[in-house]
Amino acid sequence: MLNAFTIDLEEWFCSHNLQSVVQPSDWDALPHRATDVTLRLLELLEKHKVKATFFVLGWLAERYPELVQAIHTAGHEIASHGHAHLLTWQHTPESFDADLKKANTVIMACTDVLPTMFRAPAFSITQRTLWATDVLKANGMEADSSVFPLSWHPEYGIPNAKLTPFFHPNGLLEIPLSVLEMMGKRFPMSGGAYFRMLPYKVYSRMVRQLHIQGRPLVFYLHPWEMDSEMPRLPGLSRWAHFRHYTNLHTVERKLVRLLEDFEFAPLRKVYESTMDHSKR
């Protein structure tokens, strides 16, 4: 089964895990590490002949246009991660619209591509921020991939969302993140921290079980999750430190095995027929 490989392209300090100790005003003064690790990731994808979807943060594209150009030139799909990496509920509809427009302008300047797919920082399109889908639609977005169909996470998730792609009332296509149904429960497994925390044998079994249930994996990763040398920031809660730093040293090795064991493509190719339907 063909699975979707997606990257949320941002710096290590943009993560919501670190918001208690890092403010956006600090970002330019912190060590920038995304370029080197992203180039390493691009080499890994090229070696395994995999094209991916990159959800590009406008703030990063503004500072490193050559990196975004290199991603586009390598044949990867370009999508939007917004500009300032604010969570959706930290926006008003007006500021969300402005943030999206700014990101699109910057990304277009780098690639001549106007993004038509979006992923919210920290998957923050939830039941209380569904207004964002109207803003996305008004800005020409065809698809969103921000919804985690689960209930237990304190910061994201829509409990009863469908596990397969669905359309919002305004016609925007939603491609949800992957969860596995077992014993009447939903278990997140799409990537990121879930990929880092689980032993590879367990993770690969979950992917195969997902396939048995008839769904491809929508995999996601941040480049910083391959960077075991990133600075450790003081003052984080134990939970935030655990979520951000645990098992970084295992990711590249596990990622090689994932790319060897399963077939991947950009999000649009995996859901091509559904995407075509969304344009009607």
Return the axis-axis angle of helices 131-138 and 93-111, rounded to nearest 10°: 40
Length of the chain: 280
Residue 278, pLDDT score: 62
Q: With contact defined as beta carbons under 8 Å apart, do 251 and 225 qualify?
A: yes
Which phi and psi angles does 265 have, rounded to 5°? -155, 170
pLDDT value for 80: 98
One-letter identity of residue 36:
D
Domain count, the chain: 1
Q: What is the pLDDT along the chain (280 residues), one digit of tens a residue?
A: 999 999 999 999 999 889 999 999 999 999 999 999 999 999 999 999 999 999 999 999 999 999 999 999 999 999 999 999 999 999 999 999 999 999 999 999 999 999 999 999 999 999 999 999 999 999 999 999 999 998 766 677 798 899 999 999 999 999 999 999 988 889 999 999 999 999 999 999 999 999 999 999 999 999 999 999 999 999 999 999 999 999 999 999 999 999 999 999 999 999 987 777 666 5
| Alpha carbons 271 and 102: distance in angstroms, whole number | 27
Give the Cα separation of 15 and 19 in Å (integer): 7
Domain span at residue 19? 2-278
As a whole number of angstroms, the longest Cα–Cα distance in the chain is 51
Residue 158 CA to residue 173 CA, distance in Å, equals 15
Tokens standing for residue 232: 């450790």
Q: Tokens standing for 217?
A: 């994996």
pLDDT of residue 196: 97
CATH number of the domain where residue 66 is located:
3.20.20.370
